[in-house]
Amino acid sequence: MGAFGRRKANAKGFDEKATFFEIRWNETAAAWEYRLPANVRKALELEGLV
């Protein structure tokens, strides 16, 4: 996750149960897939970021 992961890991008082990505293993592609949960996507839309 790069810089985002570093900020998350070093944030004081960060809610460890909060999630920003859905992660799943794709057997066909033999790779991890990352996507935004619907509530995170909606928040980005409301802010005009996507």
One digit per residue, the tens of pLDDT, for the chain of length 50 reads 688 778 877 888 877 777 778 999 999 999 999 998 898 889 989 999 98
The encoded tokens of residue 23 equal 């992660």
pLDDT of amino acid 1? 60
pLDDT of amino acid 48? 93
Distance CA 44, CA 36 (A): 10
User: pTM here?
Assistant: 0.50
pLDDT of amino acid 31? 97
- Cβ(7)–Cβ(17) below 8 Å: no
